[in-house]
Amino acid sequence: MAKTLKLAGILGVSVLLSFCSDKKEQSTDSAQFTIENHVVTLTENSNLKDRIKTSKVSEEDFTFDLVTAGVVKAIPNHYAEIASPFSGRIVKSFVKLGQKVSENTPLFEVSSPDYFEAQKGYFDSKQEFKQAALNLKRQEDLLNNGVGVRQEFEESQTEYSIAKAAYDNAVAALKIYSVDAKSLVLGQALTVRSPIAGEVLENNLVIGQFISDEAEPVIKIASLGKIWIVGKIKEKDIQHLEKLNKVQVELAAYPDAPLTGTIYHINEIVDEETRSIDVLIEVDNEKRILKPGMYVNVRFIDQPQQVILIPSRAVLQGEDSSFVFVKAGDHKYKKKSVVIGGVSGEKTVILSGLDRNDEVVSEGGIYLPQGL
């Protein structure tokens, strides 16, 4: 009986070893690929052979075409917000909304006690300067005729210099407000004038209104014949602006009539949150189609250049970068990291990582091991 059990045990172990051996051989036969030196080789019986297709990379003329949102802004030195320089009461208005004005055009008048004090200071300094000039002339004549005193002449020179400096400062202060000192009349209201040529975009003047010198601007003027558009470009795309051919500005209101612009300035600072750079585009706006604050689409179009194009299905995405599988022999494939430069239809532009003679896996790459 013991011999029977022992024999049965030996037979059982033999059957188990035979089963394990068959299972191991079956597992080896069913393997789809092997990996050696980062190269994936499909096994002879791999059913992936029918799923994987390759295509050669091609070099074609490609035009970089990037569309981004933009905001219309008035050019800073073509835009002015005018407030009253003195606290006072508005007594007269010379303009209306939408009116075109030239530089130095009268806008409104304000009656101000502070401006009256400035006028009085001007006339006082003018009179003192006149008296100092007469005194200097008298002392000079006395000295030349031998009856003057050198010390008194020198003192009159000092007084003249001080009076002249005070008078010049008073005249300069009036010029800040575009006031002609020669025609100034004591007690007259201040006429506020336009610092630029343009048109009145906003007019909040109210006759009789008292405003302080810290109040908000009451008139806004801009010259909108040329306008700026602020577009944002991702830092990875900034290289394309060096060879930029043109910039198109597209408006929702005029979809069939894009405007042409030129790059005026590229900001030197990258926005840390959006990783983008502000680009200022200058556009002719004689027809006043563009309005400050308007949103538009900005299309950056680069000059055509020879680039490598591959089917977009060939590009796979890893954790930190994009990659493709490149044919390395019969049923052999190697993983390569690539840098993408854009998409053109069903093809993707490859900036680096591939050679012109490479053949990439265009279909079935997802079945190959990704973590090489």
Tens of pLDDT, residue by residue over 18-63, are 434 343 333 333 588 899 888 999 998 898 988 999 999 888 877 7
145 phi, psi to nearest 5 deg: -90, 5
Q: Residue 21: inside a domain, yes or no?
A: no
Question: Based on the domain organization, do 293 and 337 belong to the same domain?
Answer: no
> Is residue 16 pLDDT above 80, yes or no?
no
CA distance 189 to 108: 10
- What does the pLDDT read at residue 19? 37
Question: Based on the domain organization, do 125 and 95 belong to the same domain?
Answer: yes
Question: Based on the domain organization, do 296 and 314 belong to the same domain?
Answer: no
Sequential DSSP letters for 132-183? HHHHHHHHHHHHHTT-S-HHHHHHHHHHHHHHHHHHHHHHHHHHHTT--GGG
- What does the pLDDT read at residue 1? 40
Closest residue by Cα to residue 96 from 217, 201, 196: 201
- What does the pLDDT read at residue 245? 59
Question: Based on the domain organization, do 91 and 214 belong to the same domain?
Answer: yes
Q: Residue 124: inside a domain, yes or no?
A: yes
Give mean pLDDT, residues 193-199: 93
Question: Based on the domain organization, do 212 and 92 belong to the same domain?
Answer: yes
Number of domains in the chain: 3
Let me know if 316 is exposed, middle or buried by CB neighbors in 10 A (0-12, 13-18, 19+): middle
Question: Based on the domain organization, do 91 and 202 belong to the same domain?
Answer: yes
Q: Residue 230: inside a domain, yes or no?
A: yes
Give mean pLDDT, residues 84-111: 94
pLDDT in tens, 133-164: 999 999 999 988 888 888 999 999 999 999 99
- What does the pLDDT read at residue 28? 36
Q: Which residue has the higher pLDDT, 77 or 29?
A: 77
Question: Based on the domain organization, do 282 and 324 belong to the same domain?
Answer: no
Question: Based on the domain organization, do 209 and 242 belong to the same domain?
Answer: no
Q: Please give the model's pTM, rounded to 2 decimal places.
A: 0.59
Question: Based on the domain organization, do 161 and 287 belong to the same domain?
Answer: no
pLDDT in tens, 278-304: 999 999 999 889 999 999 999 887 777
Structure tokens at 165: 């400096």
pLDDT in tens, 299-328: 887 777 788 889 999 999 887 889 999 999
Domain that holds residue 130: 86-222
Any idea what the CATH number is for the domain that residue 112 is in?
2.40.50.100
Sign of CA dihedral 358, 316, 54, 328: positive
Any idea what the CATH number is for the domain that residue 311 is in?
2.40.420.20
User: Number of C-alpha atoms within 13 angstroms, CB side, residue 97?
Assistant: 7
- What does the pLDDT read at residue 243? 67
With a pLDDT cut of 90, the percent of the chain lying above it is: 49
